[in-house]
Chains A and B, each alone.
Chain A
Amino acid sequence: MSFEEVRFDRVARAFGETDALADLTLTIRTGEFVAFLGPSGSGKSTALNCLAGLLTLTDGSISLDDRRIDHLPPERRGFAMVFQNYALFPHMSVRRNVEFGLQMRRVSKAKIGGRVDDALKLVKLEHHAEKFPGQLSGGEQQRVAIARAIATEPPLVLMDEPLSNLDAQLRLEMRTEIRRLHQELELTTVYVTHDQQEAMSLADRMVVLRNGRVQQIGTPEEIYASPSTSFVASFMGYRNIFPARVARQQDGRVTISADGVELNGIAAQGTPTDDVIVAVRPEDVRVVHGTDIPDGNRVDLEVEVVEYGGREYTVGAVTSAGLLFHLLTDQPLRVGERISVAIPVERVRVYPAATSDIPAGEDMAAGELEH
C-alpha cells in the first residue's frame, strides 16, 4: 500500500474545553521524515495519535492521497509505530514481538521468518531473538520496537518520542541509527519529539507546535536560521531573548534599545511595533579584540559565568546596565574580564512583543488518551 502523500486538512482534537490540537494543515510526501517538535502539551503527540487512529478527530480530515483515513480504526490503517515506552508485549519473545505485525497482516509463514531475521539484523539484535523484553536493556528494547515497526514494511512509520527514555550517549547512537535506517529503507516517517537537536538532526522537515497550534513548518535549516516567532526562536536555541523598544526602523532594518544597549537588527515577523522581543543565538555573538570592529553591532560586556563545554566555552556576560548575553567562544575567558562582542545585524531578530510572548514552560494538559 504505497501512497504519494499524507494530507492533514485543518485537523483538530479537543479534550472537553481544551484544544489539544487545532487547525493542523500539512502535507507529508512519501519518503519524507517529518518531525513534530514542541514542549509538552503542544499537541505533537495528539497529532501523531490522530494519524495512528488512536485518537479520533474533532474536526478536519486526514487523507492518504485521495482516500480519507480519519474514520478508520488503527488496525485498518496499515501503519507501524514506535512508542515512547516501547510497548513491547511482555509475554512474547523478541521474535514473536517482531512477528506480530506480520501475522496480523496475514503475511505468509514462509515470508515471515526471513523478514523477522532481516529486521532483527538491521537493528543488530539477531542474537537476542528468543529473549523476552524484560531481559533486555532499555536500548535493546528500543531496537526491538524499531524492528517490530520496520518488519511490516509499513507505508508510514510513526515514532512517539522513541529516544526520551534512553541515557544521553545511547540517545545519540540510536538517533544516528534511526537516520541510517530511514536513509536505507526510505520509510516515510513521522517523528514526535521535544528535543530540537533530535528533530533537526533527523528530519527533512519540522513542524513546530505550541499550545496545539502550528508555529512554523520548514526544513531544519530554515527553522534554525529564520524562526518565525520568538517562541520558535527560543525553542531553537536562541538563548538571548529579551524585551526591547524600537528606536528607529527603515527598510526592514530595526534599531532597538534595551537597558541602554542599542542594536541593529532585522524585522523577523511583520513590521515591529514599539515593544518588541529580540532574539540572538549565542553562537552569533562573537568576541572581538581592540579596534577590530566588524560590520554590525558592538557591545561591551563583563564576564559573569564561564562553563567549559569541551570544544568551546559557554559564557554569560552582562552589560553595565545588567543585560545578560550568552555567547560561545574558544577563548578561556576569566570571570570579571571585560570583553567586546560583535553581533551581525542579520542575526539580531526582532519580533513583535504582543503576539509572541516568551514561553515560560507552560504546560497544557492534553488529557487522557481515549482507549
Chain B
Amino acid sequence: MALDATARGPLRPPLSRRLAERGVDWTLLLLLPALVFAVGLFVYPMLYGLRLSLDPVEGSAFANYRRFFSDSFFRDTIWFTVRLAVPALLINVLLALPLAYRMRYAARGRRLVTIILIFPLTLGSVLLGKGLLNFLSGTGWLNRALISLGIVDVPVQFTHNYWGVLIAVVLADFPFVFLLLLSYASGIDPAYERAAAVFGASAWQRFRLITLPLLAPGLAITASLAFVLGFGVFPSAILLGQPDGATRTMGVAAYSEAFQQFDFPMATTIALLMAAIELIVIVLVLALRARLAPTVTSGIKG
C-alpha cells in the first residue's frame, strides 16, 4: 500500500499499533501457560464430570440428580454440611474480626501472632484432627481440666459427634480467615479513622461507620472463601465426627459413593452439587455486600 501524501486527515496507524492500544500484543502470550493449566485441570475435569454425572449406572440421564434429591440419605448431607460450614464461618469471622482490627496497624507482636496462627495451617487437617481427637477425648486435657475445675462431673462427649467436627473446622480455618481480614484491615488508610475521631466519632462509631463499611468488600471475600473451605470438610468429619450419621457431609457422601459403592457417576453428581451450592452462596454473599456498600473508588485525583 503506497502512502498517499495528498490524503487528508491523520494517517491510519498500522494494525499492530491499533491492536496494541486495545491491549492486544505479544505479551498476551504470557497468559498461555495459565490458560493451559486452567483448561486442563479445571474446565476439562468439570465438563468430564458433568458428562459422567449424566451417565448413571442405571436409569435415565438425570437419575442421579433425582436420586440425590429424593433420597434423604443423600439430601440430608446438604444440611449436615451447611450446619458445619455456616457456624464455623460465623465463629471465625466474629473471632478474627476484632483481633484483626486491633492488630491492623500494630508494629510489634504482629509477626509473632502471625507465626502462631500460620502454624496450624502447616500441619494439615489430618494431623490437626488426630491431635484434637486426643485433646478432646474423654481422658483428654480438655475434659480433665473441666472436671478438675469442677465445671462438669463426667467427661463431656466432644468427639465422634457434630461438636468435634465444628471445633476442628473452626481451628483449621481460623488462621486463614484472620490473615485475610488482617491484610484487608491494614490496607485501610488510618487517616480515615483519625479524621473521624477529630470530628467527634467514638471508637465504636469509628469502627461501625468507617472501618466496617470500608472492610465490607474484604469481609465478603473472606466469608465466601471461609464458607467454601468449611463446606469441603472431609478429614475432620471422618476423624472427629460420625461419618455415617450427624457429620455425613457432602464430601463424605461423595467419597463413600466413589470408593465404597464404586458408583463414580453418583459421586461426581454429589461433587457437582457441592460446587453449585458453593457458587450460589458466593453469589448471594457478594450480592448482599453490593447492596450494603456500593463500590467506591478511593484515592486522590490531581
- Judge if A33 is at the interface, Cβ distance under 8 Å: no
Which residue of chain B is the closest to A78 with respect to CB atoms?
Answer: B200
B70 located at the interface, meaning its Cβ lies under 8 Å from any Cβ of chain A in the complex: no
Residues of A within 8 A of B191 (CB): 83, 85, 87
B222 to chain A, nearest CB (A): 18
Decide if A100 touches B198 in the complex (CB within 8 Å): no
Which among B14-22, B172-180, B280-288, B293-301 touches the partner chain? B293-301
A90 touching B205, Cβ below 8 Å: no
| Interchain CB contact under 8 A, A54 and B197 | yes
Instruction: List A contacts of B105 (CB < 8 A).
Output: 371
The residue that B198 contacts in the complex, of A54, A89, A138, with Cβ under 8 A, is A54
How many chain A residues touch the partner (CB < 8 A)? Answer: 39
CA distance A158 to B191 in the complex (A): 15
Interface string of B255-288 (1 = CB under 8 A from A): 0000000000000000000000000000000000
- Interface segment among A6-14, A108-116, A129-137, A353-361: the answer is A129-137
Whether A185 is near chain B, meaning CB under 8 Å from some CB there, is no
Flag if A74 contacts B194 (CB, 8 Å).
yes
A52 to B105, CA, bound (A): 20
User: What 3 pairs across the A-B complex have the smallest Cβ distances?
Assistant: A104-B200, A90-B298, A134-B297
Given contacts A90-B298, A135-B297, 18 further A-B contacts (CB under 8 A): A74-B197, A75-B197, A79-B198, A80-B198, A81-B195, A87-B191, A88-B195, A90-B296, A91-B294, A101-B200, A104-B196, A104-B199, A104-B200, A136-B301, A138-B302, A141-B301, A152-B199, A152-B200
Within 8 A of B (CB), among A126-184: 132-138, 141, 148, 152, 158, 165, 167
B216, closest chain A residue (CB): A91
Q: Whole-angstrom distance between the alpha carbons of A141 and B300 in the complex? A: 8
7 contacts between A and B (CB under 8 A): A54-B197, A75-B202, A89-B210, A90-B298, A100-B209, A104-B205, A368-B107
Min Cβ gap B216→A in Å is 8
Does A86 have its Cβ within 8 Å of any Cβ on chain B?
yes
Is A73 interfacial (CB 8 A cutoff)? yes
Q: How far is the CA of A85 from the CA of B301 in the complex (A)?
A: 11
> Is A53 part of the contact surface with B, judged by Cβ < 8 Å?
yes
CA–CA, A141 and B213, complex, Å: 20
A248 contacts partner chain B, Cβ-Cβ < 8 Å: no
B106 to chain A: closest residue by CB = A371
**What CA separation (Å) do A12 and B202 show in the bound complex?**
26
